[in-house]
Structure 1
Amino acid sequence: MTYAALFVIVFVGGPLAFRALTQGGPSPAAFRRLALFTALCAAIGLTLRFGFAELWGRNLLVTGSGLAFIWGGWIGVLAYGAQALRRMDGGRRMRRWTAVIGAMGTTVPWFGLASANLLAT
């Protein structure tokens, strides 16, 4: 997979996933779903990372899946925080700002990958 494909996944897929996770209002059921989503993504991602340590970095499927699940957990944390802020202030302005900042936050891992690539060369 090229960096261009990763770029599209991160800068389009991440914000879309964040938007999907924050579609409903900040209800108790939405918080439970977000907590479950985040915990599952983090648990699966960390299991792939540390449970299959001998394959990490050598097997594209294990490494790519692990990174995707860890990133999913990151997006879940951002969505949970956005919903918590929206619970405190239900106005349009808060909804708009949490949507913008949360969508931008989903792209943070790209800058880590780009920085690691610069240091490796």
Structure 2
Amino acid sequence: MEKCFNTRVKEAMAAVPSVTAHQAMQLKEERRDLLFLDPRNQDDITATTGIIPGAISLPLDQLESARDERLSDRQQTIITACQGGPMGALAAHTLKQQGFNHVYYIDGGTQGWLDAGYPTER
């Protein structure tokens, strides 16, 4: 039996560390290999909060099978963010299961990023 969305999110949040928007910005300034990833589809991104500048959009349902060249280095630091956090946690957990070692999700998602005073792109 497949787990419900909320159960999957709870497990993901327990398995992957979160960072605040301020911590994410600090990591962005410190690490050249940092990649932001937004697991929403493009329509959801533009209809809501926008996307963190420089982030790639790779929908959650495509993340498991994605062969994206930007996701080739398992040692790079990746921070995921959706609109509010849950899908970001799921994406980070998926990446961790794929062998990425430095994966985080933004607590509060892109909305938390905006609330902290950081810009997004539409």
Taking structure 1 as the reference length, the TM-score comes to 0.28
Structure label with greater radius of gyration: 1
Higher strand share: 2
TM-score (ref. length: structure 2):
0.28
Question: Whose helix fraction is larger, Structure 1's or Structure 2's?
Answer: 1
